A and B are shown apart, each in its own frame.
Chain A
């Protein structure tokens, strides 16, 4: 069975500092994809970054990077130079290449950026 775990229900970070949001996953499938989404208070889910399980390098998208440690089954999101607009819920998700249909989401982390 696939499972995503986000152990930090809430996080605070000072503006302009970096923050790491934790995500661990459980799967027995050899090939899978990992995703991070941002959900601001407006409710819309916004795609941030994707990491394939066979990708050799950690994914980066602007201020977002994914610290992928395959042996530990972790896919932490790093946000550099935090901005007030980064305050939102962040969800980690996984999809197996063998079960194309389903995405499995974690319970989310609420990030608050302090001025």
Chain B
């Protein structure tokens, strides 16, 4: 596709349930990022994938959060046993590893934990 695609666009879940969020990066982009954006706040880095290298997971807030990416394709962010504080917009971005490293963002998944 032309841009970064995220699904679902909205997700409502009950506390304690697991959720999976999907990100399709721009074709050919080797780097992929996940961010969390709480209401009225900036972006918090969660995790970074670069090609087949080991991901940088240093931003994941707890062991309930995990993410996978196969090669340079789709990534899935999984949140287990969701809590109300997980409610946020989860943004995915991809980029080429070139000077400047401009990130292109998807429209995000709005997660609401009831």
The 3 closest A-B pairs by CB, nearest first: A45-B105, A105-B43, A101-B56
A-B CB pair tally, cutoff 8 Å? 57
A44 engages B105 (CB within 8 Å): yes
A105 to B42 alpha-carbon distance, docked (Å): 6
Contact check: which of B50, B100, B110 meets A33 at CB < 8 Å? B100
18 intermolecular pairs with C-beta atoms under 8 Å apart: A4-B42, A33-B101, A37-B105, A44-B105, A45-B93, A47-B102, A47-B103, A47-B104, A52-B99, A91-B42, A100-B97, A100-B101, A101-B48, A101-B56, A102-B59, A105-B35, A105-B43, A107-B42
- The range of chain A's interface size is 20 to 34
Contact check: which of A50, A93, A102, A108 meets B100 at CB < 8 Å? A50
Contact A42-B102, Cβ < 8 Å, known A107-B42, A108-B42: no
Cβ of A104: which chain B residues have Cβ within 8 Å of it? 45
B43 engages A44 (CB within 8 Å): no
B45 engages A102 (CB within 8 Å): yes
Which residue in chain A gives the minimum CB-CB distance to B107? A44
Chain A positions within 8 Å of B, measured between CB atoms, are 4, 33, 35, 37, 42-47, 50, 52, 91, 93, 95, 100-108
Cβ of B58: which chain A residues have Cβ within 8 Å of it? 102
Which residue in chain B gives the minimum CB-CB distance to A35? B102
Which residue in chain A gives the minimum CB-CB distance to B33? A103
Chain B positions within 8 Å of A, measured between CB atoms, are 33, 35, 41-45, 48, 50, 56, 58-59, 89, 91, 93, 97, 99-108, 110
A47 to B58 alpha-carbon distance, docked (Å): 24
A42 engages B107 (CB within 8 Å): yes
A52 to B89 alpha-carbon distance, docked (Å): 29
In the complex, how many angstroms separate the beta carbon of A100 from the nearest chain B beta carbon?
Answer: 7
Known: A37-B105, A102-B45. 5 other contacts (CB 8 A): A33-B101, A35-B103, A45-B43, A52-B100, A105-B35
In the complex, how many angstroms separate the beta carbon of B40 from the nearest chain A beta carbon?
Answer: 8
In the complex, how many angstroms separate the beta carbon of B58 from the nearest chain A beta carbon?
Answer: 8
In the complex, how many angstroms separate the beta carbon of B34 from the nearest chain A beta carbon?
Answer: 12
